[in-house]
Amino acid sequence: MTLANRSLVTIDDFSYGEIEALFNLTDEMSGAMDEQYGLCHGKIMASLFFEPSTRTRLSFETAMHRLGGSVITAADVGATSLAKGESIADMARVVGSYVDMIVIRHPWEGAAKVVADYSGVPVINAGDGGHQHPTQTLCDLYTIKKEKKTLKGLKIGLWGDLKYGRTIHSLIFALAKFGANILFYPTPGLEVPEHVLEKLTMEYGGELEKYATPDTASKEKLFPLDAIYLTPSSPHQLAMMPDVNLQVELKTGIDALYVTRPQKERFSAAEKGEELREKYPVVDKKLLRGREFKKTLVMHPLPRVDELALELDTDPRSMYFKQAARGVPVRMSLIALLLGAKDAAIPQEAAPSIAYPVYRRDYGPRCPNQRCVSVQETEVKYLKPEYKIVNRNPLTLRCAYCEHGFEPEYVASSDWHEGKTATKKYHSASSHWADKIRPENLIVFRSNQDAETLGFKPSRYVKIRRRRKGTQK
């Protein structure tokens, strides 16, 4: 099977089998780095980095050079026509007409999807704001697999800024895909966003145990444990344990501790004010003296700031420089696969990913996430609202670009009765009437004002809702 012409925008774009096939090719390539030269001869990769980068950009470019291809680069948005107000879509179309593949890093969430939608060539997301960073995740997973042989049933701790860390968001889904259990140790105030947790449990099964009062037994060392994700493929050895049992279980060892730096550049003004960075405990030799860390891989996507002690650099448990070094062979195999220079032996797979109905209209509510590309690109007016309808009860839409979700207040059908204006009605999204609207006819509104501006009148199912909510007599 081939991965040629595919894009990697989120980690969900690749199945378990496809990632396994990529890792097999990575093994093959790492054992013979000098023999890969010429595989991508004549191919050109555009490397567009509109946010700071050292490892990701340079390892992508090294990978392409090692494959014998060429690279063109733009690493400063101010030096491109985006600074003149050009849309990302236009830039993508033009660059796509010059090259065979695009690697993009951009501060807006969902920007890589826009490039993939418009460029006509394979696109790799090298980080889109706080959304995802799937190739870092490939390096992380590959490292855990190499060191521990499997991911199934492992206990992986995620530590630090779990709110804005895009490497964390991609890694969460990948760990679930590979059957690992996840322990969440967020900096208080920087917990994993709700929409990520919702997608995790909805699409990967498993159980999420959140602690109303985070477990504080490890307070002096790590941030308090605030949630555990139990993979469905794991016997519930960690299952919903009272604190005492949980502590005993964790003493048997955490397989990897994935540390992240505070992503200050994405903090809100209030978060900056709280100086969350100051509260970061340092992962050092003293902390790792605990029995549970005896065989723990210490991981970090880098760059580190102060959260990892320098003394750990020579500790055999430290993996962060290995993770970075593996970026080259991992990205070489990814480039070779997407350019069709190599084929992948993909094992038979059980369940394909869920195909949700899509909500795509010329009008409709804007994504609630201000950092979403669909909100940021409003000036140029080409991005239409696009959502996956991930749940009918309660009706829940997930932005196709940044994956933030929301529950609209009101709905209507585009197929109103006999097309008469008098029957052009809107209803409460929680009324039974709303359930009857077919996905392809669904229109959603965030407020009744939005519905009425478009000429819809309230139906009696709006009134029922209002009465129930006590907003109208």
What residues form DSSP beta bridges with 397?
A: 389, 406
Q: Which stretch binds ligand NCD (CB under 6 A): 26-34, 175-183, 240-248, 297-305?
A: 297-305
Separation CA 316–CA 22 (nearest Å): 26
Candidate list 10, 26, 47, 56; residue touching ligand NCD; CB under 6 A: 56
What the block records as the tokens of 363 is 């009008």
Tokens of 109: 């969430």
- 167 interacts with ligand NCD by CB under 6 A: yes
Choose which of 302, 330, 390, 462 interacts with ligand NCD (CB under 6 A).
Answer: 302
Q: How far is the CB of 301 from ligand NCD (least distance, A)?
A: 4
- The answer to whether 166 contacts ligand NCD (rule: CB under 6 A) is yes
Pair of tokens at residue 453: 């501006």
If the CB atoms of residues 215 and 403 are measured against ligand NCD, the closer one turns out to be 403
Give the nearer residue to ligand NCD in terms of CB position, either 55 or 317.
55
**What is the rounded distance in angstroms from the CA atom of residue 117 to the CA atom of residue 289?**
49
Pick between residue 326 and residue 424 the one whose CB is nearest to ligand NCD: 326
Interface pick for ligand NCD out of 169, 177, 195, 261 (rule CB under 6 A): 261
Is position 133 an interface residue for ligand NCD (rule: CB under 6 A)?
Answer: yes
Q: What phi, psi does 18 have (nearest 5°)?
A: -65, -40
**What token pair was written down for 235?**
């016997």
Interface residue with ligand NCD among 69, 127, 134, 193 (CB under 6 A) is 127
Nearest residue to 4 (alpha-carbon basis) of 348, 347, 353, 341:
341
Place of tokens 């405990």: 281
Question: How wide is the angle at C-alpha 265 spanned by C-alphas 259 and 269, nearest 5°?
Answer: 115
CB of residue 207 vs ligand NCD: minimum separation in angstroms? 28
Query: Which region among 40-48, 195-203, 299-307, 345-353 touches ligand NCD (by CB under 6 A)?
Result: 299-307
Task: Candidates 36, 136, 231, 428: give the one binding ligand NCD (CB under 6 A).
Answer: 136
Proportion of the chain in helix, strand, coil states, percent, rounded to 5? 40, 20, 40
Task: Note the Cα 272 to chain centre separation in Å.
Answer: 23
| Complex with ligand NCD: residue 327 or 408, whichever CB lies closer | 327
Tell which residue, 350, 422, 334, has the closest CA to residue 123. 334
The answer to whether residue 55 forms part of the interface with ligand NCD (CB under 6 A) is: yes
How would you classify the pairing of strands 442-445 and 457-458? unpaired
CB of 437 to ligand NCD, least distance (A): 40
**Binding status of residue 134 toward ligand NCD by CB under 6 A:** no
Instruction: Name residues whose C-beta falls within 8 Å of residue 275's C-beta, 6 or more positions apart in sequence.
Output: none
Q: How far is the CB of 163 from ligand NCD (least distance, A)?
A: 13
Site residues for ligand NCD per CB under 6 A: 55-56, 127, 133, 136, 166-167, 260-261, 301-303
